């Protein structure tokens, strides 16, 4: 897993689908649907539509913290939080082929535990001030570097990411850049997503040279 990992911004209905489609046209590799406010029927309808968009663009579709919804709409996987039982419970429901990501905040030990328990990727953050979660614990580039040395799992960085600070995250071991505001608040979403993908490709070329 590698590339731009967009997380939905709270938009709903046609606005949500339009934004996500633009991000996918720009090359977003992964889409996470995060909505804990609307009713279950509405969320299932939105998730089904988003899953179809992702498949049309050959991108992965992940549900935030709702294993039942992920199973119902046949998402590619689910992203869960710090609860030690969440990963094993999700695996039991979704099976061995599902992608399960785990939030590890600013704690390397959580990532090591998640890897041992069979996570498919881990996420650290917030690395920078974020309007989405302003009080989130702050992760450091040193943590990212240490995790890269100790883990073979794909690593996702999240929190206040911009085109200016993304190169430092990639240089210290991030495989995926999870972005909300800097993509979905852009007046040109597809172009902004494309810029992120170009950064990741450039870094990959440098690493393989």
Rounded to a whole number, what is the distance in angstroms from the first to the last CA of the chain? 20
Q: Which of 163, 84, 165, 162 shows the shortest CA–CA distance to 117?
A: 84
Could you tell me what percentage of the chain is helix, strand and coil, using 3-state DSSP and rounding each to the nearest 5? 45, 15, 35
Beta-strand (E) ranges in 153-199? 155-158, 176-179
CA 80-85-87 angle, to 5 degrees, is 40
Beta-strand (E) ranges in the chain? 3-7, 30-33, 60-64, 77-80, 99-103, 121-124, 155-158, 176-179
Rg of the chain in Å (alpha carbons): 16
Annotated binding site for Mg(2+): 65, 84
Annotated binding site: 32-36, 64-65, 84, 103, 130-133, 160, 180-181
Neighbours of 204 (CB within 10 A): 14
């Amino acid at each position: 897993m590698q590339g731009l990992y967009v997380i939905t911004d709270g938009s709903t209905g046609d606005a949500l689908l339009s934004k996500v489609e633009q991000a996918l046209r720009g090359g977003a590799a992964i889409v996470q649907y995060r909505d804990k406010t609307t009713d279950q029927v509405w969320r299932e309808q939105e998730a089904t539509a988003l899953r179809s968009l992702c498949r049309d663009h050959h991108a992965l579709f992940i549900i935030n913290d709702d294993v039942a919804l992920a199973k119902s709409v046949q998402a590619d996987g689910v992203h869960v939080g710090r609860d030690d039982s969440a990963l094993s419970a999700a695996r039991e429901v979704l099976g061995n082929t599902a992608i399960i990501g785990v939030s590890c905040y600013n704690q390397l030990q959580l990532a090591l535990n998640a890897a041992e328990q069979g996570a498919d990727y881990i996420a650290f953050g917030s690395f920078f001030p974020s309007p989405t979660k302003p009080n989130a614990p702050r992760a450091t580039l040193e943590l990212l570097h240490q995790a890269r040395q100790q883990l073979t799992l794909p690593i996702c960085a999240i929190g206040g990411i911009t085109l200016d600070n993304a190169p430092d995250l990639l240089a210290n071991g991030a495989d995926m850049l999870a972005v909300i505001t800097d993509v979905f608040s852009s007046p040109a979403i597809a172009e902004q997503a494309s810029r992120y993908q170009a950064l990741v490709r450039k870094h990959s070329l440098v690493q393989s040279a």
